[in-house]
Structure 1
Amino acid sequence: MADLQARLQKLSEEFTQFQQELQDTVGSRQKLDAQKQENLGVQTEFAKLKDGETIYKLIGPVLLKQDQTEAESTVNGRLEFIDKEISRLEQRIRETQGKMEKKKGEIIQLQSSAQAAGAQPDKA
């Protein structure tokens, strides 16, 4: 019976680790979503600009002039990177959820075994 308890404890700890990993990954995904929205807003503003308008980039406490093509290229590059990271994190979320489901099944199976063993009378 102690062996079952130890195995159950180990499975529970692994399940908790997967929960924490999932929580961290979802948090990272949410941060990327916020960054994506910011960059999409910047991209929208760029679309409203006329040729020759001045773009400034904030670097520390200083505003520096930036070429419009360069600025648009930078934002587009960021959006591509963010989209790739979001895809990677979504895959990781799916994998972690799958591992959690598998671990949950193992826990339920072990608990059922323990209950069945506890319900059987001892043979003398």
Structure 2
Amino acid sequence: MSSSSTALRELQRDLENKANDLSKLQKDIAKNHQVRKKYTIQLGENELVLKELDLLNEDANVYKLIGPVLVKQDLAEANANVRKRIEYISAESKRLDASLQDLEEKKYSKREAQELMGRMK
């Protein structure tokens, strides 16, 4: 009787560990979505800034906010900085998408393993 009791406790412990792993994956997925949303907003803002910069004449005054101070900036430099920012944000978004896909695959695998264990009972 004690061997079946031990086996049952071991199975329960294993299920708890798998449930904890699944919970951690779900938290990581939620965090990924939150960061991805932030990057999406930043990308939209920077694309809007780039459109506004493209409307300006070459001799237009452009200012950059640094802390509480507006500092005059060359239009070409401002344009280049915004383009670099857009490239960076796009690259980070792609990295997050790949990470999310990996997390979703792991979650799916763990769920299938849990369902299989549940059926074996």
- Partner SS state of residue 65, structure 1: strand
Aligned residues: 114
In the superposition, the TM-score normalised over structure 1's length comes to 0.90
Residue deviations 1:27-49, cap 9 Å, x none? 11100001000100100101110
Could you tell me which residue of structure 1 aligns to residue 32 of structure 2? Answer: 25
Match of 2:82 among 68, 75, 78: 75
Separation of aligned partners in 2, 1:58 and 1:3: 60
1:4–1:110 contact (8 Å) kept in structure 2 = no
- Point out 4+ residue stretches in structure 1 off by more than 3 angstroms: none
Residue deviations 1:60-99, cap 9 Å, x none? 1111110000000000000000000000000000000000
2:74 alignment partner AA = D
- Partner SS state of residue 63, structure 2: strand
Higher relative contact order, structure no. (Cα contacts within 8 Å, ≥ 6 residues apart): 1
1:8–1:111 contact (8 Å) kept in structure 2 = no
Separation of aligned partners in 2, 1:30 and 1:23: 11
Separation of aligned partners in 2, 1:91 and 1:61: 37
- Identity across aligned pairs (percent)? 30
5 Å-filtered alignment, 1:1-124, equals 1-114=8-121
Stretches of structure 2 that go unaligned for 5 or more consecutive residues are 1-7
In the superposition, the TM-score normalised over structure 2's length comes to 0.92
